[in-house]
Structures are given as C-alpha cells and as structure tokens.
Amino acid sequence: MCAEKSRIEALILDPENDYLQPYFYNNPLALRCELGRGAAPEEYLTEARRRAEAIRALLLPRGADAMIFNYWMYDWSDSGEAEENVFSGAEAAMEARIGEETRALRFLLESMLRYRHVSIRGLGSYLDEDDPDRDSVRRDRIVCYSDGRGFDDAALIEAQIASENSLEVGLVSFENECILSVYDDRGCDIVFAAPEKLVEFYEKLRPFFLDFDLEEMEKRYRAALNEISRPS
C-alpha cells in the first residue's frame, strides 16, 4: 500500500492549484519575506544571500524533499509580427531570447533525467480566456523528488536571486509542509499547506518579513490561529 501523501505533496500535485506568481497574493497560507537590504549593490546582494540561506535553514534543515518548477511552452510557429528590437538589428536581444529558452529546456531535461518526477500538464497561464494568444501558451508544472539524493538548494536559490532562472523554482519540505520560492534578490514567498504550520513558523520568520505586507500577514496569522483552535 502506498504511503499517504503529505498535505504539501497533495497540493503541488493538484492540477486545480495553479501556483502562479505572485504566490503571496494567490494563496491565503503564504508569507512574504524581504531579502536584499542595503544601499550599495554588493551589500544588497550579500544580504539577500545571507537572509535566503537563513530562511532555507529554518524551513529545509535537511534539504528539500522535492523541487517544483513551471515550464512554459510557446507556439513559436504561430503567425505573428517581428519583434521591434530584433527587427531593428538588436542582435543581442535575439541572442538573449534564444539563450533564455535554451537554458529553460536544458534545466527541464537535466531535472527529468536526474530525478523521479511527475508532470502536471496544461495549467493556467496569465492570459485571459478571450486573449487571442491564449492557445499559443502552455504551462506544465514539474515535480522532482529528491528521494534522499538531495538537490543543490544553495545553487538553485542563487540562480533565483540572480534572476538567471525563469522557471520559478520552489523548494518543498514534506516535514514542514511548505514551499520556499525565491522570486529574485528582493524577496521570497513561503506557501504553507496547513494553518498549524503557518502558526508554527510565523514568529521564527518574523525577523525576515517584508514590512509592506505585514498587516496582511498578521491577518493571516490570526485566521490560522482561529482555524486550528476550532473544535474538531
């Protein structure tokens, strides 16, 4: 008999869970932390790395159990106009676009060859139903399992901080039932699968909270407290 899935695993495997950025605004059990601080660029990035590692150590002390990422597919054969910057002779823009797509495909293939994985296909995009380009865009969520082998969590987080990875990687803890998603050097979102886990980590994560969203996070904390205090 298969072991029962943790709530966070059930969440990331659920096709009804779009898990679109910004994660904080799309999930009522999410918290948002600030990473980069400081006036000088070097100081800002150093602080972003330090705070990201501290948050990772809190949530994933034994490393991630799974990694998720969105793989976006575009119908490049669809009819369309030339892009202005490429048509005008900006070869660097063309190379950058090709390079981004190449890195994304390489990351997809390496991850799927290296790890046991599940693909959740045909998820929603940011395009409205009446957008003429809607059928030209597809998104799959790939869930890769560590199975005790481990991921290079630090390298994955560093790539997100440096905005070198367009795949929106999230690191998952089955024990702490959360997803840690660094969106860039500014900050990260933590999505919990259960209110008791949000309550458990709320005070531990408070030193990292983004002040701008503090009022909303306090509302979520109180709502989670009320949820777990209700008689079963």
Diameter of the chain measured on Cα atoms: 67
Using the predicted structure, report yes or no on whether residue 16 has a pLDDT greater than 60. yes
The values of phi and psi at residue 46, to 5°, are: -60, -45
Six token digits for residue 120: 């959740």
Q: How far apart are CA 18 and CA 16, in angstroms?
A: 6
Are 162 and 35 in contact by the 8 Å Cβ rule? The answer is no
Using the predicted structure, report yes or no on whether residue 2 has a pLDDT greater than 50. no
DSSP 109-129: HHHHHHS-EEEEEEE--SS-T
Highest average pLDDT, of 23-27, 80-84, 96-100, comes from: 23-27
pLDDT confidence band for 126 (50 / 70 / 90): confident
Average pLDDT value for residue range 2-23: 84
Using the predicted structure, report yes or no on whether residue 181 has a pLDDT greater than 60. yes
CA 130 to chain centre: 27
Using the predicted structure, report yes or no on whether residue 156 has a pLDDT greater than 50. yes
Q: Using one digit for the tens of pLDDT, what is the confidence trace for 167-178?
A: 789 999 999 999
Six token digits for residue 111: 């991850």
Average pLDDT value for residue range 129-151: 88
Residue 18, CA distances (Å) to 87, 122, 129, 176 in order: 35, 10, 15, 21
